[in-house]
C-alpha cells in the first residue's frame, strides 16, 4: 500500500476542490487532490459555465456579497491560469440577460429582483428590468414570444471544462498530485493531522479540505463536520457548432467559445438519479426555440443530466471542524462563479488556519443540525 505524506489533502477534484487546491499552491507545500473514478456523479462535468451574479442571495445577503467578490476576482484567476498553463478559459464578463416568455414571468422576475436588492445588508448593484424593446435592442434576433427580461453588467461566462482542465494542470505544474480512482473509505483524525484511506493507498496530511460534492455528506462526520447536501438534477442540451450569433450569455442559453449552444436549465429533486427525462428536454428545447427561433433547425449533438450539490437553502457551506481544526468543508452548486472566491479568498483563509467571521453565515449551524458525535 502506498503512503503519501503531504501538507494539504483535498478530497474532491471537481471545480470546488480544484479551485481551492489551486489557491493553496505555495513553494514547498506538498499538495494532493483525491478524486473519484471516471464514472461518478461528477457535478463538474455537468456545468453550464455561467459566472452569474444577478438574482443571487435572496435570504442570505452575504451570498450576494460573496458572489460579487468572486466575479471581481475572476479576471485575475483567468489570467493566472493562462500564464500558468497556457489554457485560455474564455472568460467573458460583459453582462448577461435573464429572458422572460410571458408577462407573468416578467412580473415575477421583476418582483424577485426588487425584493433581492431591498434586503437589509445586501450589497446592491444595478439590475435593469427590460421590456421587449429593451431586450431586442441587445439581442435583435429574439423571437416574438420574448416579452422582456432583466440585465446586469456583472454577469458573464467561461468555458467550464477548460477551466477544470486548467486548474488541474496548474495544480500539477506546482507539484501537486491528482490521484484518481481514490474515493475515500475512511478518514482517521490524528493528533496533528489526518490519515486518509482509499483504494489508491494511504495519504497522511496536516490540513484537510473536504470538497467532495455529494460525497461530503458521507465523509464530513468522520471529522466532526456535517454536510447536509442532496442531489438536484439539472438537464442540459448542447447543439452542434454554429457560426457566432450570441455574444452575451442568457441565464439559460449561451453560445460557447467553440460555437456550440448550451441550453438549460431545470431543477428536480430526484435523489441519486441522473436518468435523462425527455419531457424536461422537450420543455428546454421548446423555450430555447421561442427565445431564438433561428435555432429550431440546429442539431442537438448531446444532452446530459447531472446532479447539483444542493444544501437545504441552496447556499454554500463553508466550515471548519471545531473538534479537528485542521479540517475544512466547502460545498456549493456554483463552482464556476465561485471559483475565483475559492481560490483567492477561501484558500488563503484555509492556509492561515482559521475561517474568519465573514464565513460564519455559511456555517452548517444555520440549519440547526448537530455535528456528528
Partner 1 sequence: MSPPGRSKGEYRSAQREGDSFSPQREGVHPTTSTDVAIVGAGPAGLAAATRCREFGLDVTLFDEQPTPGGQIYRGITRSPLQDPAVLGQDYWDGAPLVRAFAASGAGYVNDATVWSVVAADGGVTLGVAAGAPAARTAHMVDARAVILCTGAIERPFPIPGWTLPGVMTVGGAQILLKTAGVVPQGRTVLAGCGPLLWLLAWQYLRAGVAIEAILETTPRGRMAQALWHAPDFARSPYFAKGRELVRTVRRNVRLVEYVSAVAIGGEVAARNVRYSVDEREHTLAADCVLLHQGVVPDVNLAQATGCSLAWNDLQACFAPAIDSWGSTDVAGMYIAGDGGGIAGALAAAPRGRLAALAVANALGRISHATRDPIARHDRAELATALRGRAFLDTLYRPTDAFRLPSGTTIVCRCEEVDAQTVIALARQGCAGPNQMKAYVRCGMGPCQGRFCGLTVNALIAREQQRDPAEVGYYRLRFPVKPVTLTEIAAAPTTAEAVKSVVRL
Partner 2 sequence: MFARLPDPADLRDVVDVVVDGAPVAARAGDTVAAALLAAGVAHCRTTPVGGAPRAPFCMMGVCFDCLVTIDGIGSQQACLVAIAPGMRIDRQRGARAIDGTAGPG
Give the containing element (helix H, strand E) for 147. Answer: none
- Cβ atoms of 292 and 141 closer than 8 Å: yes
- Bridge partners of 149, per DSSP, are 99, 130
- Determine the length of the chain: 373
Give the containing element (helix H, strand E) for 114. Answer: helix 103-118
| One residue of 27, 28, 120, 297 binding partner 2 per CB under 8 A | 297
- The yes or no reply on residue 262 touching partner 2 (CB under 8 A) is no
Q: How far is the CB of 177 from partner 1 (least distance, A)?
A: 9
- The yes or no reply on residue 30 touching partner 2 (CB under 8 A) is no
The residue whose grid cell reads 439590475 is 127
Please give the grid coordinates belonging to residue 217: 455528506
- The yes or no reply on residue 313 touching partner 1 (CB under 8 A) is no
Instruction: Say how many C-beta atoms besides its own lie within 10 A of residue 104's C-beta.
Output: 10
Give the containing element (helix H, strand E) for 366. Answer: none
Rounded CA gap, 14 and 21, in Å?
10
Q: How far is the CB of 50 from partner 2 (least distance, A)?
A: 16
| One residue of 129, 179, 230, 248 binding partner 1 per CB under 8 A | 179
Secondary structure of residue 183 in the 3-state scheme: coil
- The yes or no reply on residue 195 touching partner 1 (CB under 8 A) is no
Task: Specify the residue, 84 or 260, whose C-beta has the smaller distance to partner 2.
Answer: 260
Q: Which partner from the list partner 1, partner 2, none does 104 bind, CB cut-off 5 to 8 Å by kind?
A: partner 1
- The yes or no reply on residue 245 touching partner 2 (CB under 8 A) is yes
Enumerate residues 6+ apart whose C-beta is below 8 A from 114. Answer: none
- The yes or no reply on residue 304 touching partner 1 (CB under 8 A) is yes
- Cβ atoms of 350 and 231 closer than 8 Å: no
Q: Is the dihedral of CA 238, 70, 11, 265 positive or negative?
A: negative
Q: How far is the CB of 260 from partner 2 (least distance, A)?
A: 9
Which of these ranges, 20-28, 139-147, 184-192, 264-272, lies near partner 1 under the rule CB under 8 A? 264-272
- The yes or no reply on residue 298 touching partner 2 (CB under 8 A) is yes
Rounded CA gap, 371 and 323, in Å?
10
Q: How far is the CB of 103 from partner 2 (least distance, A)?
A: 22
| One residue of 283, 360, 369, 372 binding partner 1 per CB under 8 A | 283
- Cβ atoms of 351 and 216 closer than 8 Å: no
Q: How far is the CB of 139 from partner 2 (least distance, A)?
A: 5
| One residue of 60, 139, 236, 263 binding partner 2 per CB under 8 A | 139
Q: What are the C-alpha distances in Å from 353 to residues 1, 177, 206, 230, 323?
A: 30, 22, 11, 28, 14
Q: Which partner from the list partner 1, partner 2, none does 203 bind, CB cut-off 5 to 8 Å by kind?
A: none
What DSSP assignment string belongs to 195-225? EEEETTEEEEEEEEEE--GGGHHHHGGGGT-
Which of these ranges, 48-56, 241-249, 304-312, 343-351, lies near partner 2 under the rule CB under 8 A? 241-249
- The yes or no reply on residue 36 touching partner 1 (CB under 8 A) is yes
Of 77-116, binders to partner 1 (CB under 8 A) are 104-105, 108
Q: What are the C-alpha distances in Å from 3 to residues 185, 204, 209?
A: 15, 7, 18
- The yes or no reply on residue 4 touching partner 1 (CB under 8 A) is no
- The yes or no reply on residue 35 touching partner 1 (CB under 8 A) is yes
Residues lying near partner 2 in the complex (CB under 8 A): 138-142, 240-248, 259, 292-295, 297-299
Binding interface with partner 1 (CB under 8 A): 35-39, 45, 104-105, 108, 161, 164-165, 172, 178-181, 237-240, 258, 263, 265-268, 276-289, 295-305
Amino acid at each position: 500500500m502506498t503512503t503519501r505524506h503531504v501538507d494539504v489533502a483535498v478530497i474532491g477534484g471537481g471545480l470546488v476542490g480544484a479551485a481551492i487546491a489551486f489557491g493553496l499552491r505555495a513553494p514547498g507545500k506538498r499538495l494532493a487532490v483525491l478524486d473519484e473514478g471516471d464514472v461518478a456523479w461528477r457535478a463538474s462535468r455537468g456545468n453550464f459555465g455561467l459566472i452569474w451574479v444577478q438574482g443571487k442571495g435572496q435570504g442570505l445577503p452575504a451570498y450576494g456579497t460573496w458572489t460579487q467578490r468572486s466575479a471581481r476576482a475572476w479576471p485575475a484567476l483567468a489570467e493566472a491560469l493562462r500564464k500558468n498553463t497556457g489554457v485560455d478559459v474564455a472568460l467573458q464578463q460583459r453582462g448577461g440577460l435573464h429572458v422572460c416568455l410571458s408577462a407573468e414571468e416578467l412580473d415575477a422576475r421583476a418582483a424577485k429582483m426588487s425584493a433581492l436588492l431591498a434586503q437589509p445588508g445586501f450589497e446592491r448593484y444595478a439590475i435593469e428590468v427590460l421590456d421587449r424593446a429593451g431586450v431586442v435592442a441587445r439581442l435583435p434576433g429574439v423571437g416574438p414570444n420574448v416579452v422582456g427580461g432583466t440585465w446586469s453588467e456583472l454577469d458573464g461566462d467561461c468555458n467550464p471544462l477548460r477551466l477544470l482542465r486548467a486548474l488541474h494542470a496548474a495544480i500539477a505544474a506546482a507539484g501537486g498530485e491528482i490521484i484518481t480512482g481514490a474515493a475515500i473509505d475512511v478518514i482517521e483524525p490524528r493528533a496533528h493531522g489526518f490519515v486518509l484511506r482509499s483504494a489508491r493507498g494511504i495519504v497522511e496530511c496536516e490540513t484537510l479540505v473536504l470538497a467532495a460534492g455529494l460525497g461530503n455528506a458521507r465523509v464530513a462526520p468522520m471529522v466532526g463536520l456535517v454536510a447536509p447536501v442532496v442531489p438536484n438534477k439539472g438537464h442540459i442540451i448542447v447543439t452542434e457548432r454554429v457560426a457566432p450569433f450570441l455574444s452575451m450569455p442568457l441565464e439559460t442559453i449561451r453560445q460557447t467559445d467553440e460555437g456550440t449552444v448550451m441550453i438549460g436549465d431545470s431543477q428536480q429533486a430526484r435523489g441519486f438519479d441522473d436518468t435523462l427525462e425527455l419531457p424536461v428536454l422537450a420543455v428546454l428545447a421548446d423555450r430555447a426555440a421561442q427565445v431564438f427561433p433561428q435555432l429550431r433547425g440546429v442539431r442537438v449533438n448531446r444532452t446530459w443530466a447531472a446532479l447539483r450539490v444542493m444544501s437545504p437553502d441552496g447556499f454554500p457551506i463553508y466550515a471548519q471542524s471545531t473538534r479537528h481544526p485542521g479540517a475544512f468543508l466547502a460545498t456549493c452548486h456554483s463552482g464556476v462563479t465561485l471559483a475565483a472566491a475559492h481560490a483567492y479568498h477561501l484558500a488563503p483563509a484555509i492556509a492561515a488556519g482559521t475561517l474568519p467571521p465573514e464565513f460564519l453565515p455559511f456555517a452548517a449551524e444555520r440549519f440547526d443540525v448537530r455535528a456528528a458525535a
